[in-house]
Structure 1
Amino acid sequence: MRVIGLTGGIASGKSSVAAIFERLGAQVIDADQLAREVVEPGESALAQIAESFGRGVLNPDGSLNRAALGEVVFADPAKRRLLESITHPAIRKRAEEKLARLKRAGVKTAFYVAPLLIEAGITSRVHEVWVVYLDHETQLARLMARDGLSREGALARIASQMPMEEKRRLGRVVIDNRGSREELEAEVLRLWREEILAAEGSHSDEPKS
């Protein structure tokens, strides 16, 4: 099974690209979704987070307070690394289980969507890397609009990741998302036809229900 790692910077449009591929019929595993799953109440990763960062990062019902945890880890690289040392092994285990199920089901191509695919050193999990690209100013503007952040807050989050220009050079395929939604849709459809359907020997590009 061919596993394509889909990555990009924060607010670059990875989820939008993944959603278009999924609508076209692709199998998509989203690391962000896995990250939410592994810190649900009752999961061992959540218990480890509470032990490491204190109960101040939990809501009254015992669930994770993402905003409180985010304030801690975005301001301190060492604490971010500590959080990653807890969550990444749990995410990896769940990702491997899901990929194995897809392979057993005879799936030919799957996308693994992960914002930190390169930074976390997990490119060995995929066969090739595709990067969703934005220039710095467009990324900054979209992040501020999406999350309601100040310029300084948005810059801090962007700075916590590999620069987009560097990440762009590491992608076998680069998906340019500087334009409109319609332009992005057209680019993804082109890649679906040329990179996925052609390789699989299929000729249908109609969205699957």
Structure 2
Amino acid sequence: MPNNGLLFVANAAKAHSLFTKVNQFVKNVLYIKINNSCGNLLPILNKQIVNVYNNAILQNTDVRLMLKPIQPAEIIKTNHMIDLIFYESDLAKQVEDLKQSVNNIETGCKVQVVDSQKDEETIEAEKVKTYEYVAVGGTFDRLHNGHKILLSQAALRSTKHLTVGVTDVNMIQSKVLWELIEPVEKRIKGILDFLTDINPDLEYNVEPIQDLYGPTKSDPRYELIIVSEETKRGAIKINEEREKNGLRPLDVYVIGLAADVTPQRSAEEESKISSSNQRMRLLGTVLREPVPNPNIPRRPYVIGLAGGIASGKSNIAEKLKSKGAAIVNCDIIAHELYKPGLPLNQTLSEVFGGHIITDNGEVDRRKLGQIVFSDKDQLEKLNQIVWPAVIEEAQRRIKALGEEGYKVVVMEAAVMVRAKWYKYCHQLWSVIIPPNEAVKRLQERNNLSEDEARKRVEVQPSNLEQVAAANIVFSPYWSYEYTQSQIDKAWDHLQQYLYNDTSK
């Protein structure tokens, strides 16, 4: 299948219907270029932006409706190499000239005709007002068709300059699964790649912003801001600030939300097309392909399971056990090493005081916890004592389980990331939930005050750290069924990976 295609349309009103005929024949990017010299195209393009991108929601193709109609002797530039050209049958006499006008074309590019509809589509015309300086803002994580509508409508209304504010730092931390949001540099690159494809003639300023205002509250050149239905209040606040600064309020153009009609959309996900839905659908899938670990035996295949306190990783481990994995719980190993008569008890008593030992000779974990979870130095001291003993015992048990015939062993450890124990594993799978939810769960589970629970959560590696090195991420924050679906996806992929690895 060709990677990238370019569809030439004779009449802008047909763009939507012709796109539906050809998108299935292109693997990656499909451009739509209009060859229409009639009057004012803006009202038609305004409507077709919505039609095309809403229709593309169920497609995997990256569709890009180019906003400039073909000009005489124009060189058509695209950011992606074209290896298939479609043309509407009305353009048959011009097709060779059109092909020659494409500058980024693959040698041997094929050309294919698309039958035109006999009757032109009727499109309600909405007057489109244009401005020199236009602004739009958003997170723009994993650029989707809702984003494309927003950016295209902004570019359509700009005659000179478009600024895109890309939310970053503290602004993204209220988002669902914000830890999975792409780095801002990658988001900016994706926006520029799209905008320069749909209209290369505008000036673009795509920059990170740390508040909702960006440059719009103080720059008098801006005239219009594009917002979605859910961000209208932001435009009101920006105009309030502009009035305080003696500037004319911005005109506001509101974009309707695109419905997410994905058949597999779960009840936990939003009804609109959103980056949050996309991030939720990443749970249980491979975020980073595993790299072979030559420092440990190939079998059993060891999955390191990380996650902060009260994140639900033990529940995830049980679900993996039901799939056939053996479990080595490093937290349990540590607790077993606290038993009376073992060398670790004597060491801990000498370092942290005899009062942490109960009358029957066991370590009182609550008393020990009160010491180490309120003092990072004390926690580090405890780790340096306990970690070597735990990982040594864990490795012994993993080897024994492999000898028993287990193909997959899950090594579960709260300190997996901080101790870097994933270097003893073939893959790292991490479990995350929002910190406030972890505090709440810990209060209920361990009968702690909110302050005690928060201290314990805060000394753990952050969710961002848990995700940074992970091959797969889970979040048991929603329903039982939604968590199970994540496990099913991860396990199915693991089985396929192990099968392929064995077949090599």
TM score, norm. by length of structure 1: 0.89
Deviations 1:40-72 (A, max 9, x none): 112111111111112100111111111111111
Q: CA deviation at 1:166?
A: 2.7
Give distance in 1, aligned partners of 2:460 and 2:498: 34
The corresponding residue for 1:168 is: 467
Root-mean-square deviation over aligned CA pairs: 1.5
Q: CA deviation at 1:103?
A: 2.7
Give distance in 1, aligned partners of 2:314 and 2:440: 17
The 10-residue stretch of structure 1 (12-21 or 39-48) with the greater mean CA deviation from structure 2: 39-48
Runs of 4+ in structure 1 displaced over 6 angstroms? none
The corresponding residue for 1:65 is: 364
Give distance in 1, aligned partners of 2:330 and 2:448: 23
Q: CA deviation at 1:185?
A: 2.1
- Determine which of 404, 422, 425 is the counterpart of 1:105: 404
Q: Unaligned stretches of 5+ in structure 2? A: 1-298, 500-504
Matches within 5 A, 1:66-81: 66-81=365-380
Give distance in 2, aligned partners of 1:122 and 1:26: 19
Matches within 5 A, 1:111-150: 111-150=410-449
Give distance in 1, aligned partners of 2:439 and 2:344: 31
Q: Does residue 199 of structure 1 match 2:497?
A: yes
Give distance in 2, aligned partners of 1:78 and 1:137: 25
Q: Does residue 90 of structure 1 match 2:389?
A: yes
Give distance in 2, aligned partners of 1:137 and 1:21: 26
Q: Counterpart of 2:304 in structure 1: which amino acid?
A: G
Q: CA deviation at 1:23?
A: 1.9
Q: CA deviation at 1:25?
A: 1.6
Give the percent of matched residue pairs that are identical in Structure 1 and Structure 2: 28
Secondary structure at 1:19's aligned position in 2? helix
The corresponding residue for 2:285 is: none
The corresponding residue for 1:207 is: none
Contact (CA 8 Å) 1:29, 1:111: kept in 2 or not?
Answer: yes
Q: Unaligned stretches of 5+ in structure 1? A: 202-209
Deviations 1:87-120 (A, max 9, x none): 1111011111111212333432211001111111
Give distance in 1, aligned partners of 2:323 and 2:422: 25
Q: CA deviation at 1:144?
A: 2.1
Give distance in 1, aligned partners of 2:492 and 2:339: 37
Give distance in 2, aligned partners of 1:63 and 1:169: 37
Higher strand proportion: 2
Q: Highest CA radius of gyration, 1 or 2? A: 2
The corresponding residue for 1:17 is: 316
Q: Does residue 155 of structure 1 match 2:454?
A: yes
Q: Counterpart of 2:398 in structure 1: which amino acid?
A: L
Q: Counterpart of 1:6 in structure 2: which amino acid?
A: L
Give distance in 2, aligned partners of 1:22 and 1:121: 23
Deviations 1:68-87 (A, max 9, x none): 11111111111111111111
Give distance in 2, aligned partners of 1:35 and 1:24: 26
Give distance in 2, aligned partners of 1:89 and 1:120: 10
Q: Counterpart of 2:496 in structure 1: which amino acid?
A: A
Contact (CA 8 Å) 2:325, 2:407: kept in 1 or not?
Answer: no
Higher helix proportion: 1
Q: Counterpart of 1:198 in structure 2: which amino acid?
A: Q
The corresponding residue for 1:204 is: none
